[in-house]
Amino acid sequence: MIEIKDKKECCGCGSCMNICPVHCLRMETDAEGFLYPVADAEACIDCGLCEKVCPVLNAGEDIPADQSAYLLQYRNARVRRQSTSGGAFTAIAGYVLRQGGVVYGAAYDESLRVHHKAAESAGALAAFRGSKYVQSDTESTFSEVREHLNAGRLVCYSGTPCQIEGLLGFLQKPYEKLITVDVVCHAVPSPLVWERYLEMQGRKLGTRITDAKFREKHFGYQYSTMTLMDQDGQECYAQGIDTDQMLRAFFSNVCDRPSCYDCRFKKRYRKSDFTIWDCYPVYAFDKRLDDDKGTNRVLIHTQKGREIFEQIRERCRVLEVDPDRLTAGVKEMFESVEESPLREQFLEDAACMDAQVLFDRYFPVNTKVRLERAARRFCYRTGIYSAAKRAARKILKKD
């Protein structure tokens, strides 16, 4: 029977809950807003399956293997605009749907909680586009995937690296018709903090928030922006990474899941078919791709992935690059985030403090913040923002 004694030993993927043959495990939310398995000891039959499929307990080493690497921009301008980066996930998912398959990804429910859901039409894919800096609840989707695969159906599942390894552990055997896509992950913040943020914004804006885009290209791809939609579906808020208090909390590492501070899945050679993530310094690879509309880095780990990529590349602008070069200096791929010394107190306060007071205490929008926002927007309006970021990256030797 799985028992969580150290919360860094659980990534919350739900593989243990899905595999239990007597359903004695359930996922419960703790005081910080994260899901953990809780067992009914009397119902447990000690089969050991929950421990066998746990991705944290069975995390493998980073074993070198053949990889292919590309930069990608989806040719459909509308889809690329809606996507966080270059639209790589839509390209892969679209292929699966054209074969009559089903696609799983992270989407909001009516309350803007993040769950994994299935899509069986191109229109339904829109809900999966865009980053959601909140841990997604996979619910029973691992079991659903197995049912589809056993019925001979093509399935694409996207998620964080720990979720992908959790799914693969749950399945216990390879499936030719399963396509997995993991997204290079900074860390997963608390759903509780996200709920408090929405509470604060709804009160301030005087409306029910019906949609949220964490990395909207409101000011361009290089300037991450939080955009919120009101009850009429109209944009009612747009603030950049310098000002928005949820984005600032995320990048301060003050509200992440404990396992993210010691992540077992930060590695180059992964078990997925595809790994996708941003390419901000696209100019360093090819200046012709530098249009500030979003570009994906795509790392392919399997022959299956390479075969699928050949089927989708005509719908994209692609540039093949050396895998070593594509992954060089990508801190989010290799290094766990560093826990903020304010984390424990912040999450305690998040559970009981007024939402506005909470965010203003830890992330005040003071004169310094306003000046930074004004400087960024001035640089964007004058067209020098990208050049300034390039110079900064060179100074910091990130390119």
What structural domains and CATH numbers belong to the chain? 7-53 (3.30.70.20), 68-188+256-334 (no CATH), 191-254+336-395 (no CATH)
* Tokens found for residue 152: 């001979």
Q: How far apart are CA 116 and CA 37, in angstroms?
A: 17
pLDDT at 392 over 60: no
**CA-wise closest residue to 325 among 292, 301, 299, 304:** 299
For residues 135 and 188, is the Cβ–Cβ distance under 8 A?
yes
Q: Spell out the residues 6+ positions from residue 260 whose beta carbon is closer than 8 angstroms to its own.
A: 187, 188, 336, 337
pLDDT in tens, 75-118: 999 999 999 999 999 999 999 999 999 999 999 999 999 999 99
CA distance linking residue 264 with residue 122, whole number of Å? 34
Q: What percent of the chain has pLDDT over 90?
A: 86
Region 237-262: mean pLDDT is 96
As given in the structure block, the two tokens for residue 295 are 């570009």
Coil, helix or strand at residue 20: coil
Could you write out the DSSP letters of every residue in 308-345? HHHHHGGGEEEEEE-HHHHHTT-HHHH-PPPPPTTHHH
DSSP assignment of 26-41: EEEE-TTS-EEEEE-T
159: enclosing H helix or E strand: strand 155-159
CA dihedral 166, 270, 266, 274 (to 10 degrees): -90
Instruction: Write phi, then psi, for 260 (nearest 5 degrees).
Output: -70, -25
pLDDT band at 184 (very low <50, low <70, confident <90, very high): very high
pLDDT digits (tens, 9 = 90+) for 13-50: 999 999 999 999 999 999 999 999 999 999 999 999 99
pLDDT value for 116: 98
CA proximity to 188, closest of 263, 125, 273 = 263
Phi and psi torsions of 359, nearest 5°: -70, -35
Q: Cβ distance 133 to 250 under 8 Å?
A: yes
